[in-house]
Copies of this chain bind each other. A is one copy, B any other.
Amino acid sequence: MCILLHMSVLAPPAVATAAVFGSTGLAGRELMRLLASHPRMRAVACAADTRAPARCDLVLLALPHGVSGEVGRELAGARVPVIDLSADLRGEWQYGLPELHRAAIAGARQVANPGCYATAALLALAPIVAAGLVEPDLVVDGKSGVSGAGKTPTERNSFCAAAEGIAPYQPVGHHHQLEIEAQLSEVGSGPVSVTFTPHLAPFTRGLLVTAYAPLRPGAGQAEVEAVLLGAYRGEPFVRLVDGVRTQALRGSNLCHLQAWVDPERSRVIVAAAIDNLVKGAAGQAVQNANLMLGLDETMGLPGEPAWL
């Protein structure tokens, strides 16, 4: 606010224009919602017209997987910064998890926004893997609200199929699995194995991962909490809480973490909750956009949950 006030006295506020490709999907619609109240960025929704970038300061790609990558590669030649929310370019472009790669994102022209499960899993696990507290053989059990299954009506995301119960899906080979492994292997001192099973749970927004890791000798509750507190001290969007639940995060860009150690079984359990459409998609894209445009990283992003 101070910065904004300051600038508004010295000079008319500069407002960046962001072209949103794919603004009718769930992530795209959320981008439009967030940008509507962003003090320094303005959405310019448009179809996937690659001549568009000439007229804007940033491109946000929220197109279907497959299509998004193609458009992204075409745009990579232009001088405009691009953030792709799809899975297509996560191996090629700068990985857009600010808590791990803040400086690199700020200097990048092409950023691949992380997957929703990967965001939660990495925020839960990266610090303790990096600190060498755990063996690199992890289990990640994910639970997502139905908005994670996309907007196109299908048998699976119909109300009568998804309501009033829970089901696992694609327990082997989900593309977020490799994404989590790749990132954790980078922060750790070698290859990390992640067994990952996502589940479809009957609510619209919200995502929880419960991550399980074997503790190395000497590591206990105190060490785990110290590492997490140290890693996230000063982070605007990650908090350690007592009583993690996805309901507390609807509409917010926060990630809530809670860790428990079972000393008898030498295991640490870390639960991470996010709103899959915000910190898991559109909110994180805006956070990356802020970094790339030199704005305050939190600008336009709801911190405290919109409501409980």
Interface residues, chain A, CB within 8 Å of chain B? 5, 8-9, 26, 29-30, 33, 36-37, 137, 139, 141, 143, 145-147, 149, 151, 153-155, 157-168, 171-173, 193-195, 197, 199, 201-206, 208, 210, 212, 214, 243-248, 250-251, 258, 260-262, 265, 267, 269, 271, 273, 277, 304, 306-308
Contacts and interface: CB of A to CB of B under 8 A. Distances in A.
A159 to B, nearest CB: 4
Nearest to A195: B267
B269 A197 contact: yes
B172 A260 contact: yes
Chain copies in the assembled complex: 4
B262 A172 contact: yes
B163 A146 contact: yes
B158 A157 contact: yes
Contacts of A163: 146, 159, 163, 202-204, 247
Contacts of A194: 265
A195 B262 contact: yes
A168 B271 contact: yes
Contacts of A37: 304
A201 B146 CA distance: 13
Given A5-B8, A167-B245, 7 more contacts: A9-B9, A141-B141, A149-B159, A164-B204, A164-B250, A168-B258, A172-B269
A208 B159 contact: no
Chief secondary structure at chain A's binding surface = mixed
Contacts of A195: 212, 262, 265, 267, 269
Contact of A166 (B197, B245, B258): B245
Contact of A201 (B149, B162, B201, B277): B201
14 contacts: A29-B308, A151-B158, A153-B154, A153-B157, A157-B159, A158-B158, A159-B159, A168-B244, A171-B260, A172-B260, A172-B261, A195-B262, A195-B267, A199-B210
B269 A171 contact: yes
Given A260-B172, A262-B172, A245 B5 contact: no
A291 B8 CA distance: 28
Contact of A139 (B145, B147, B203, B212): B212
A259 to B, nearest CB: 9
